[in-house]
Structure 1
């Protein structure tokens, strides 16, 4: 579409990027004389290859192409970060009285991310401004085509008045929101409840009498976002079959919502040529990917990016506090949101919010209370951090390890990520690049010595420190030189435990406790990852790319020796016994017989894999083994399951769980485990965390913060105590919502870089798109990665369509 046909429809929206009410930045938003122009080539499975002459046009193309695939999710994300859901959608999300939209809007208004993005924008780099402006223009172009009838939206948002053109500020704020999402989610209710009063004064009040769907006291507590995860390997020349680097990327992320990945190839001839996948809404750059010389992936860091400070209040005024003898004022601001009522009227709600020392006050009843003596303030390094675009662009452009490392000295924009890197020279590199507060020595000592501080840190994974002395306050994030990192030629890896064992042969020395625990029991997934990456499977005792891909998709698990030992005990007599639980006698023979049919995998055809899952979920790694954890042998301990009646009681309960859910013990995993999308149910292979596999999925998805987030079917309860199952097993089976998303293996061959990959939930959320379920079906039916067309000849061979957009 040319600029003339674009002009009139955009004016109808009345709020395009160059016309939005951001007068303070309009001069910076003006485009230069060059035209926005991008070529979007779609190859097999809808992968978008965007070519442009400059960064602004590249972002223009990526914004347009993402809107083709995910316009509704993106529109909702921008509505959310502006704090306007209740204005257009009313107070509630799922049911009357849940007040989810009210809570969401207040969180973003209190965090003030959108306003801070607006204030910061004129001072950001030209690259960040160009990327944000270009992406917004591309998104808006697609909406204009929808208005003209030349394109369509998904049914979930078609015709909705909240689907609106966006600005560069929206793009920037949405990225910042992703970086601070974990902290906002964990402390959502604590942020809302902070108030010097002792009753319900924290609740919002209406400007005039208002009839909402339910009292605002029903604002719920947000769940801690605990499902984040990922695996990544970087295999160096010492262990690869050709002496060059190998990368395995396996981020575990939501299968729906605003944190889905999107497969993408970015090309500015002579400047940038990189391919991989990015989170929705990220402009221009690739988040996890490769270029001709390097490849990298990310995992979610075990670190914390937040600190809570205990303020000592002035005895005469609960809105004043004392630091080093100086009295300071707690800032009070009236924050309002608009709410659509059942009658269609818009009402404004008001609420005072409180800030101090650059953070938000929080209150947790009976734990961190705003009393006459103390109040608590939450500070987070990612809120109002707008360095992400610059940092990822620098990663994309790097061609050597030295250049890659330099990006961490120049930028601190990777928010919550570990980074795993390799290159064509066979080097590997690990760094926890999360934006971690650089606590002063006195604060670290307090955290180590004070009993209550240690208790809070164990409970919240966030330190609670004295706020009455400036000596305890951090002034910056941990600099590059002090971040945990490791360079090797054999391998580095991470599976969401801390930095300690990036390489089991070269443990990283202990650093700040805010980076996670050191010398402690590792997760089953980490131990399985370390066992696999340190022992090549080839006859040459080296790894090939195909062997790495096979390991990723083999769906084996650390817990296999446990089952082998239990089967041996069954054969030695336990299978003839019964277990009595609550006066019910349960024969062990059926469970023992089913276990013997398990093939050691979690594939669709694996018999009794569900029984194995429910059983090993009940095994305690700290108590149920003959050999306990030993920090000197962290990969192989604990080991040797203790064979006794208590263990077989857990097996009996696992069998009863399966029967209670309505399944047989000898069913195949494919009968129970599935992913459902666009009305189609796909049988699904893969592990869960508890088994210690790599290709991991889960039934819960607490990271999908969109209004479209599917509600998981309630799990059955455990017989004998009526508690919901950790696995989420319901009478429908294992209904998956989270897990392996963008899977990728990269190899630097003599002829150039070669990559395989797959987006398990497919490229497009538009139900009418050809690419809405194709990769999903491929994974379900073939369990293989596909070749990624990076070279020009491969793109030409697999090309499906080419679109040129300009403005």
Structure 2
């Protein structure tokens, strides 16, 4: 028996990891092994088979070698870094390597996680040795190399830092003390600029290219003919280090879980087992904070804490760089840090000068080595209470909420994640003048680092100092539903608002994005039977249909307003930045448009450009502002008599005209992704349109170009009392980034057509796949079969 264990008396010497991979339709692997090392081995081999070049470049990034292979001025990898160039990226990751953080990670992780990482590296390297590199992106490249389990942990750690120090790479590696010994700090930027900058790095409300998600968990009181149904719908990049990859992982008697994760994470991050299904959504929590420290006069690399001078840590970091002539040189930079964390020189272009004071960053995930253990625990859960217990005991989820259902009909929303222990009282007592306004607007603290009492607090239930304990983080379990679309926790279900959590987690009573409004309206109307569809309650089919209806909340809110706007235009002429424009055809197009972003919709592209232009209207385009007493219906009513609103409409018309796109152009003709030279039309719309199925193309002078971001791995799981859950899924960009793979565009074509893949979870389902292909891997180099 391949995966069976011999009796102790007959135990054989270690033959290395063993795994069996059974592929079903669309290249979905069902990986089975007798232990975690074997499971990681199969995962590493299979994920590299589909996305070798993407993974290989990721390992170049986290090993601080981009400048060596691509040059210091080459773009940084845009998924796991925000660096302006490869040199800054390398300095950041070399600092992590120099501080031996990954060594600590390796020591802190559980044995199961270490075995997964070791096996993953062995499987990845096995694929390299197999001479099966078909992707021209890296075939024969000098940066394609074997990896170790440390490389696996480096990538996992980079994922954990995404919403913290990973979002301020240029600002940390670029921070240098002022020249001279008596330099004074320049005037700090105003709070409004800094609030906007911090909101930009948080991205919690799902702006166009930020990571986001929808998750809807329907319990037994909201499900029709079932116990529960879950929609998982993350919005992530379509290329690069944050690509999702789908798999089914089994260790008999230990683990049996199906779903997807980022391709370099050998676990299931979003998925289901036989008893529970869960997803994650990017949260509103501030996972980082700043401290302002007073420097010692004449010595800007020393700072005061309770009046006592402390020396900053000075670290020389060196990276190899490729010169213009092809030779390899070295760049060395001195980086500075304090007991709180590294010094920063600003936030996203807003300067925080270093002089009489300096600002330093503390990342709540800097010692979070628990991420993979948390996801393994979720995969073994049997109820939403188990999920909550795992989230609490590991406190390893770095920057997301969790939304889940179980087979008994309970739904869960949980905001248990890694959050700084900054209570509202601590912020009130310790915020700097600038920090008080930034904290109110964003939840990101700027505390007085000159007082030791202003450091982050400690909770005995947290696994490390400085973090809020799970009891201080919001959780809701209900039988009707819970949902999140990157909105603050308070409206996970409007029937039971959550209010007892600190500002650092998110605002209480704050406005919802139009997408979050759409999610909650969609659920409630279905439960009430007021959505124009037959009956009430959700089935898997109905929940899938709701997502792909591609309805726009922005269109629903403004339908009458646009009609009034058109009626108010003199002689059908709209103002624009380049003079009046004939708006009559545009008005007719919007009058006939049904407010959706399906492939055949006409007028949707015009409306999308209009909403984009409206975002620049000073003070916003609405007559009725947001009212926390009516969070699902405000703001509303376009101020159609304002010149700025009318000009936004005229400019939108000119945008389409310049791109040679008709105002009633068909969406599918003008929004697509290119695969193998073929354009595959893509339905959906950008976040700001209030469409659940987020799709983000790039608008240029030629109109929409290829889709780069949006709905990625989508899964709907239904528990209906059968022995096994019924799951349907789609990986919008398909399993493989290799243009020579048969799974480079197959699911993308399904996504375009609105067709779902019915998952195979049970042994009977897997074995009955008409496309079943089996690969057996022996760690001692046995032939693949």
Q: Same fold (TM over 0.5)?
A: yes
Shift of 1:188: 2.0
After superposition, the Cα gap between the structure-2 partners of 1:792 and 1:575, relative to the gap in structure 1 and judged at 3 Å, is farther
**1:416-455 paired onto structure 2 within 5 Å:** 416-439=399-422, 442-446=425-429, 451-455=433-437
CA distance in 2, matches of 1:76, 1:609: 37
- What secondary structure does 2:40 align onto? helix
Q: Which residue of 2 aligns with 1:565?
A: 560
**Contact 2:563/2:587 (8 A) holds in 1:** no
Q: Which residue of 1 aligns with 2:103?
A: 118
After superposition, the Cα gap between the structure-2 partners of 1:488 and 1:575, relative to the gap in structure 1 and judged at 3 Å, is farther
Deviations 1:720-751 (A, max 9, x none): xxxxxxxx344042431000001110000222
CA distance in 2, matches of 1:244, 1:70: 37
Q: Which residue of 1 aligns with 2:176?
A: 195
**Alignment partner of 1:660 is 2:662:** no
**Alignment partner of 1:363 is 2:345:** yes
**Alignment partner of 1:629 is 2:634:** no
Deviations 1:153-200 (A, max 9, x none): 41111111221111111101110101112333432221122111249x
Deviations 1:534-565 (A, max 9, x none): 22155432111100000011100112334431
Deviations 1:558-606 (A, max 9, x none): 1233443145437857584323446833233121111122122101110
Match among 748, 757, 760 for residue 776 of structure 1: 748
Q: Which residue of 1 aligns with 2:92?
A: 107
Q: Which residue of 2 aligns with 1:40?
A: 21
Shift of 1:366: 7.7
Q: Which residue of 1 aligns with 2:709?
A: 738
TM-score, normalised by the number of residues in structure 2: 0.87
**Contact 2:202/2:286 (8 A) holds in 1:** no
**Contact 1:81/1:114 (8 A) holds in 2:** no
CA distance in 2, matches of 1:625, 1:336: 52
CA distance in 1, matches of 2:324, 2:624: 62
**Alignment partner of 1:327 is 2:324:** no
Match among 612, 637, 653 for residue 640 of structure 1: 637
Per mean C-alpha deviation after superposition, the further-off stretch among 294-303 and 405-414 is 405-414
CA distance in 2, matches of 1:446, 1:529: 38
**Alignment partner of 1:162 is 2:133:** no
**Alignment partner of 1:584 is 2:579:** yes
Per mean C-alpha deviation after superposition, the further-off stretch among 691-700 and 295-304 is 691-700
Unpaired runs of 5+ residues, structure 2, are: 3-11, 77-82, 181-199, 204-209, 457-464, 780-785
CA distance in 2, matches of 1:126, 1:582: 63
TM-score, normalised by the number of residues in structure 1: 0.85
- What secondary structure does 2:130 align onto? helix
CA distance in 2, matches of 1:395, 1:535: 31
**1:111-150 paired onto structure 2 within 5 Å:** 111-112=96-97, 115-146=100-131
CA distance in 2, matches of 1:63, 1:274: 17
**Contact 2:244/2:261 (8 A) holds in 1:** yes
Q: Which residue of 2 aligns with 1:339?
A: 321
Q: Which residue of 1 aligns with 2:766?
A: 795
CA distance in 1, matches of 2:712, 2:578: 45
CA distance in 2, matches of 1:580, 1:122: 64
Shift of 1:681: 1.8
Q: Which residue of 1 aligns with 2:235?
A: 252
Q: Which residue of 2 aligns with 1:219?
A: none
After superposition, the Cα gap between the structure-2 partners of 1:94 and 1:411, relative to the gap in structure 1 and judged at 3 Å, is closer
After superposition, the Cα gap between the structure-2 partners of 1:645 and 1:478, relative to the gap in structure 1 and judged at 3 Å, is closer
CA distance in 1, matches of 2:704, 2:517: 28
CA distance in 2, matches of 1:335, 1:175: 22
CA distance in 1, matches of 2:13, 2:711: 41
CA distance in 2, matches of 1:661, 1:509: 47
Match among 376, 391, 415 for residue 408 of structure 1: 391
CA distance in 2, matches of 1:73, 1:768: 14
Q: Which residue of 2 aligns with 1:177?
A: 158
**1:3-402 paired onto structure 2 within 5 Å:** 33=14, 35-93=16-74, 100-112=85-97, 115-146=100-131, 151-198=132-179, 224=201, 226=203, 227-283=210-266, 285-364=267-346, 367-371=351-355, 373-402=356-385
After superposition, the Cα gap between the structure-2 partners of 1:141 and 1:366, relative to the gap in structure 1 and judged at 3 Å, is closer
- What secondary structure does 2:87 align onto? helix
**Alignment partner of 1:766 is 2:766:** no
**Contact 2:717/2:727 (8 A) holds in 1:** yes
After superposition, the Cα gap between the structure-2 partners of 1:434 and 1:760, relative to the gap in structure 1 and judged at 3 Å, is same
Match among 774, 778, 781 for residue 806 of structure 1: 778
CA distance in 1, matches of 2:588, 2:424: 58
**Contact 2:108/2:369 (8 A) holds in 1:** no
